[in-house]
Structures are given as structure tokens and as C-alpha cells.
Amino acid sequence: MNDIQKSDFSSKADNCGISKTGAEYDGFGWDLHCHSSFSDGTCSPAELVEKAAQIGLSGVAITDHDTTAGWQQAAAAAQKLNFPLIRGTEITSHFGRVSVHILAWLYDPQNEAICALFDNLTKMRKERILLMTDKISKDYPIDREAVFACMKSGDETTPGRPHIADALVAAGVCENRSQAFAGIISPKSPYYVPASSPDAVQVIKAVKNACGAVGIAHSGAIYSRGPVLSEEQIEELADAGLDALEIFHRDNPEEQRIRLKKIAGRLNLLATAGSDWHGKGKINRMGENASDSETVREIVKRSFLTVAGM
């Protein structure tokens, strides 16, 4: 892995395209939540970085699910384009009955606890996807091989329901991922298998021990993702080391953004923004929500790695 060293981010700020104010719309600031083909995105890590540079972002984060497999390719593209890249991961967890996706940025990828965490998550993900695929294959023309064929980065891909959705689309069963998620692979479907995941406190502590910064993804997505964390739960996670809440995300309605801003202010948490871009896998537009330079400076200040591509 390149650039596995801490450096002075502030001294490089003027040379890496960081906007002075940032914004929550296309073309400005840093998109801190994007996915490549190493999880459930449709574009390679290099294409992710190229897209961010093309649309005029100040910088971008690669945050594939439960893996660092795309970091090297993304860092190489960032170096080639002299474009700022934050290396991160969206880590699956739960807290009580709430599903919690944790954005971990700029941590040490060689940390033993982190590596063990990802190995375990990958194992649980594969078991779940195989179980769901076998159940679906009894009624629809897909099988394990068809699902594996939809994993664009091969064995290094983090498996998930989107790959089953892609197999259903390829077989002509569904028109797109959205239809598959609304029906055959929805939580209400008889084919659905609940996800297994570690406790959020455990994940946060692991990332902090690996010297990374930690946020909660789409932390107010009450309508699209089910129950959200209460203020008391967020405070517990802050006590465990939480750094930020992803407040600006298309799945967070305005009333949730207002609630989360108040909580973040009281607990001294950073307010981050991200698109949750998946290429053609979702309608989300890269850069539709972006974080400002001061937020990124603070994330880097708290982290092990520096920004790649500078």
C-alpha cells in the first residue's frame, strides 16, 4: 500500500484543490462516500477517481463495503491524475436493533484487528449470499455461478445483495436493481436472509485503534433503511470514539438533518456529506452532497494515513 505514513495535511492544502468553503452540490467539495466494483459499485476504482476529477470535485473517498481491496488501484489513479483521494471503507455493523453502516477513513489497513474484522465480515457475507441464492434458484433461473459472474472484481469483490439483483436482471427476471430490492430480495421476501454483523461499538473501537476517523453513514435514513439511532445511542457511540455523522445524504430527510445537526453540535461531532455513489448501480449522483475543506482537514488530522494523489 502506498503512502502508509502520516504527513502534514495543512501544508499541502493549497496544492490539492481543496475549496475554501465547500458546498452541498455538484462540482465543489469532497464526496466522502463512494463505491467501486470491489463492493457493489459498477465502476473500477480508477474510474471512480477519474469521474471525480472530471466533474470538478475537490477530492473523493473510496468507501467500499468491508474491504480495502480497491485502495491500491484508486491510489494509483489518484497519483496519475494528481487528484486527492481519501481511502476508506463502509463497515457493516449493528447497535441494538438498528443496522449501522460505519464510514471509516484513513486508518491503518495492516492493523491486525481490522484485517480480522474484514475477514469475518466477508465470510458472513458469502454465507448469506449463498443461502439467499440457493433459495431463489428454486423458483427463478439464477444460480451461484450467475451471481459470482456479477462480481466485477472477482474473488476480491465484497459480496452482497446487489450482485443477486444483477443476476436477476441479467436473467430477465427484474428490470433493474431497484425492482429486485423492492421484491425478490427485500427484507419482506421469503428468500431474504438477515445479515450478521458485529456490534457498532466494537467496530468503532477497532477503527480508532487503527488510528482512523469514524462516521455513521446515512445516519437519518428513517424512511428508506428502517430504524435510526436515537440521540442516546449516538451519544454512546460518541463515547466509544465516533467522530462524525453523515448528515448530508439523499436518504436523510430534512427533519432528520435538523435533528442530526443539533446532536452533532452538542456532542462536538463533525457533519459530513456524501453521495453514496455506485456508478450505474444507483441513481445517486457523485458530488450531489459534498463535504467542505475544514471537515476534511479535521478528518485527516485525526487519522493515520494522509490524502493520496497529492
Q: Based on the domain organization, do 206 and 100 belong to the same domain?
A: yes
| Predicted confidence band of residue 28 (pLDDT cuts 50, 70, 90) | confident
- Cross-sheet strand order for the sheet of 30-34: 30-34, 59-65, 85-95, 98-105, 213-216, 244-248, 270-273
| Cα(107)–Cα(303) distance, integer angstroms | 6
Q: What is the CATH number of the domain that holds 147?
A: 1.10.150.650
Same domain, 96 and 229: yes
pLDDT reported for residue 10: 33
- Is 99 found in the same domain as 144? no
Residue 146 CA: distances (Å) to CA of 168, 190, 259, 279: 9, 20, 43, 21
Q: Which residue segment(s) compose the domain that 90 sits in?
A: 10-117+196-301
Clarify whether residues 63 and 26 are in a common domain: yes
pTM: 0.87
Residues 88 and 215 in one domain: yes
pLDDT higher than 60, residue 65:
yes
- Are 3 and 308 in contact by the 8 Å Cβ rule? The answer is yes
149: left (phi over 0), alpha (psi -120 to 50) or beta: alpha
Same domain, 139 and 32: no
Q: Which are the contacts of 23, defined by CB distance < 8 A and separation ≥ 6?
A: 29, 290, 292
224 has which bridge partners?
A: none
Per-residue pLDDT of 179-208, as tens digits, reads 999 999 999 999 999 989 999 999 999 999
Q: List all residues 6 or more positions away from 197 whose beta carbon is below 8 Å from its beta carbon.
A: 92, 93, 94, 99, 121, 124
Which CATH number do you get for residue 52?
3.20.20.140
Residue 127 belongs to a domain: yes
Q: Are residues 41 and 93 in the same domain?
A: yes
- What total number of domains does the chain contain? 2
